[in-house]
Amino acid sequence: MMIEKVLIANRGEIALRVIKTCKRLGIKTVAVYSDEDINSLHVKQATEAYHIGEAAPAKSYLNQEKILDVMLSSGSDAVHPGYGFLSENDDFARLCEKNKINFIGPSADSMNLCGDKMECKSAMLKAHVPTVPGSPGLVKDADDAEKIANEIGYPVMLKSVYGGGGRGIRIVTNDKELQEGFDTVTSESIAAVGKSAIIVEKFLEKTRHIEYQMCRDKHGNAVHLFERECSIQRRNQKLIEQTPSPVVDDVKREEIGEIVVRAAEAVDYTNLGTAEFLRADNGEFYFIEINARLQVEHPISEMVSGLDFVKLQLDIANGEPLPFKQSDLKMNGYAIECRINAEDTFLDFAPSTGPVPDVTIPSGPNVRCDTYLYPGCTVSPFYDSLMAKLVTWGQTFEESRTRMLSALSDFYIQGVETSIPLYKTILETDEYKNGDLSTDFLKRYDVIDRLTKDLKNEQEEKSDAALAAAIIHSEYFKSRAQNSTANNTNWKYKLD
Ligand code: ADP
Ligand code: MG
């Protein structure tokens, strides 16, 4: 049966993104919302909307039973999980399968395999996909981890196999840090997903994060939809993404692309997903993990491929064969995405929340902004800090970069701190312009110091400009005052 009504088990910009494609295709949409989201746009734009509980995610967007109730009572035949929340929860995928709801994503079994970084790495090793050197399996305890760390040599990365979104991973440089880091990773992972199991990996220095979009239908046809470079990060979380990567040429793209197709087959992956790699400074690629869902940064790949990824997801979920072969796919132009977060760069990226009385969303040729913002909305402390994704396209990298700078300066968000000033600084650095990227870019090039200087200069320019404007204004008002006195006199005179 073809999908006719989709429940979107998410909120914010990604819920709106999914609604957009469904609307175009004439597919009905069902929104769910928490107390906090009563006034959110996804509630207004969906065909139907149902309240599912309190603000805390555990009481609403993570409440599987409640969401299942709504799916059944609303007659939804499919569910789109977005990213975050239940999107990579194989229990939820299984629950949907059992209830004959089409889960728009991979099968529960495949998701289970991808969700365990160690199991997934083992499957990759079998398929001859290169992975980051590290412990052959889970480490038993901190002492076991220490033994392995000394074998492979510091620095190493401690990772919970269930981690995600930059949580549950820690770099350690000696035995003492390892003992502390082990506890931190364990508690972060337990806080996030209720369990922890740790692996040790060699920490690769000056690496780039380069990932590939995988795409595989239910008949075993697979392609890759090119790469994205996501090396500009803070706390192991992505800030700016771009495609193509400055260090991937056609030959490399095809070489790694073939590995990616093998990776998708190795875990029997269906639908869209992402294979993440680290590229060491010597040019070698190492697989790190699969994200079994639609990726936050998918719009940049949409822009260079010309495809609507949500439509592709729906078609694959409907059992349709891929309408193209690898050789049909061509990459066109350059795209950049900036994740516009509500956070204070100077307070170690702490979330900044509250009402947004006014906002101006940038637009223009080849500018795309996926956002839940509207004047009068609120940035909630309960959810992700991502408010908007600003995406630009250009025929050249330079065109897309300058377009981004101009769009960033048009973006006005009143009431909360944002990452916009930081992005302006990054995009103006020679290192960024030259494609000299690495996951430690912010530290390596003292970007926060540069931002401080940029803001100071801006402040000075502003006060100079303000002073000049004040002088012009006062001249203008002086002459107006004189005129109006003259007029008043005339008027008075007339009346008399
Ligand atoms: P998550 O599940 O949080 O996304 P990942 O394993 O994908 O975790 O890693 C997130 C980021 O952490 C990477 O993009 C990279 O910046 C850094 N990272 C992960 N593993 C390593 C490693 N072995 N060496 C160096 N950096 C790493
Ligand atoms: Mg990752």
- Ordered by start, the domain boundaries in the chain are 5-104, 133-202, 208-451
For residue 117, the ligand 1 atom closest to its alpha carbon is 6
Cα–Cα dist 43/382, whole Å = 17
Distance, CA 352 to ligand 1 centroid (Å)? 25
Higher pLDDT, 9 or 190: 9
Domains 133-202 and 208-451 share a fold: no
For residues 3 and 318, the answer to whether their CB atoms sit within 8 Å is yes
Q: Please give the angle made by the CA atoms of 442, 361 and 433, to the nearest 5 degrees.
A: 30
With 0-12 / 13-18 / 19 or more C-beta atoms within 10 angstroms meaning exposed / middle / buried, residue 482 is exposed
For residues 8 and 33, the answer to whether their CB atoms sit within 8 Å is no
Topology of the domain covering 5-104:
Rossmann fold (3.40.50)
For residue 202, the ligand 1 atom closest to its alpha carbon is 23
Question: What was the pLDDT predicted at 479?
Answer: 78
Residue 487: band (very low, low, confident or very high) from pLDDT cuts 50, 70, 90? low
Question: What was the pLDDT predicted at 257?
Answer: 98
Distance, CA 164 to ligand 2 centroid (Å)? 6
| Mean pLDDT of all residues in 20-25 | 98
Question: What was the pLDDT predicted at 473?
Answer: 82
Distance, CA 279 to ligand 1 centroid (Å)? 11
Chain Cα centroid distance, residue 444: 23
Cα–Cα dist 155/489, whole Å = 83
Residue closest via CA to ligand 1's atom 15 equals: 236
Question: What was the pLDDT predicted at 158?
Answer: 96
Dump pLDDT digits (tens) for 403-462: 999 999 999 999 999 999 999 999 999 999 999 999 999 999 999 999 999 999 999 998
- Cis peptide bond prior to 133, omega within 30° of 0: no
Higher pLDDT, 433 or 472: 433
**Domain 133-202 = CATH 3.40.50.1100:** no
Give the helix, strand, coil percentages of the chain, each rounded to 5: 45, 25, 30
| Mean pLDDT of all residues in 205-213 | 97
Residue 488: band (very low, low, confident or very high) from pLDDT cuts 50, 70, 90? low
pTM: 0.91
Res. 95: pLDDT tops 70: yes
| Mean pLDDT of all residues in 381-397 | 98
Cα–Cα dist 219/222, whole Å = 9
- Rg (C-alpha) for the chain, rounded Å, is 25
Question: What was the pLDDT predicted at 486?
Answer: 53
- Cis peptide bond prior to 323, omega within 30° of 0: no
* Closest to 339 measured CA to CA, from 433, 284, 278, 411: 411
For residues 168 and 181, the answer to whether their CB atoms sit within 8 Å is no
Distance, CA 144 to ligand 1 centroid (Å)? 21
Dump pLDDT digits (tens) for 169-196: 999 999 999 999 999 999 999 988 888 9
Say which range, 122-136, 455-469, 473-487, has the weakest mean pLDDT. Answer: 473-487
Q: Is-catalytic flag, 293? A: yes
* 3-class SS of residue 118: helix
Q: Determine whether the shortest distance from the Cβ of 291 to ligand 1 is under 6 A.
A: no
The number of the ligand nearest the C-alpha atom of 88 reads 1
Question: What was the pLDDT predicted at 478?
Answer: 79
Question: What was the pLDDT predicted at 483?
Answer: 67
With 0-12 / 13-18 / 19 or more C-beta atoms within 10 angstroms meaning exposed / middle / buried, residue 148 is middle
Q: What is the mean pLDDT of the chain?
A: 95
Res. 46: pLDDT tops 80: yes
Question: What was the pLDDT predicted at 470?
Answer: 84
Res. 469: pLDDT tops 90: no
Res. 286: pLDDT tops 50: yes
Q: Determine whether the shortest distance from the Cβ of 237 to ligand 1 is under 6 A.
A: no
Distance, CA 406 to ligand 2 centroid (Å)? 30
High-pLDDT (> 70) share of the chain, % = 97
Q: Determine whether the shortest distance from the Cβ of 233 to ligand 1 is under 6 A.
A: yes
Q: Which structure tokens are listed for 462?
A: 């502003």
Res. 481: pLDDT tops 90: no
Res. 468: pLDDT tops 80: yes
Q: Which structure tokens are listed for 40?
A: 């959110």
Query: Residue 79: left (phi > 0), alpha (psi -120 to 50), or beta?
Result: beta
Res. 361: pLDDT tops 50: yes
For residue 159, the ligand 1 atom closest to its alpha carbon is 6
For residue 201, the ligand 1 atom closest to its alpha carbon is 23
Given 216, 293, 368, 403, the catalytic residue? 293
Q: Determine whether the shortest distance from the Cβ of 166 to ligand 1 is under 6 A.
A: yes
Q: Which structure tokens are listed for 418?
A: 């944002």
Question: What was the pLDDT predicted at 476?
Answer: 81
Distance, CA 277 to ligand 2 centroid (Å)? 9
Residue 242: band (very low, low, confident or very high) from pLDDT cuts 50, 70, 90? very high
- Cis peptide bond prior to 244, omega within 30° of 0: yes
Q: Determine whether the shortest distance from the Cβ of 286 to ligand 1 is under 6 A.
A: no
| Mean pLDDT of all residues in 296-321 | 98
Higher pLDDT, 66 or 494: 66
**Domain 208-451 = CATH 3.30.470.20:** yes
* Closest to 364 measured CA to CA, from 385, 392, 342, 402: 392
Question: What was the pLDDT predicted at 376?
Answer: 98
Res. 198: pLDDT tops 90: yes
Q: Determine whether the shortest distance from the Cβ of 439 to ligand 1 is under 6 A.
A: yes
Q: Determine whether the shortest distance from the Cβ of 156 to ligand 1 is under 6 A.
A: no
Question: What was the pLDDT predicted at 475?
Answer: 81
Question: What was the pLDDT predicted at 496?
Answer: 44
Q: Please give the angle made by the CA atoms of 252, 257 and 261, to the nearest 5 degrees.
A: 160
Dump pLDDT digits (tens) for 49-67: 999 999 999 999 999 999 9
Q: Which structure tokens are listed for 376?
A: 């009068």
For residue 165, the ligand 1 atom closest to its alpha carbon is 3
Cα–Cα dist 246/254, whole Å = 15
Question: What was the pLDDT predicted at 492?
Answer: 46
Question: What was the pLDDT predicted at 15?
Answer: 98
Question: What was the pLDDT predicted at 272?
Answer: 98
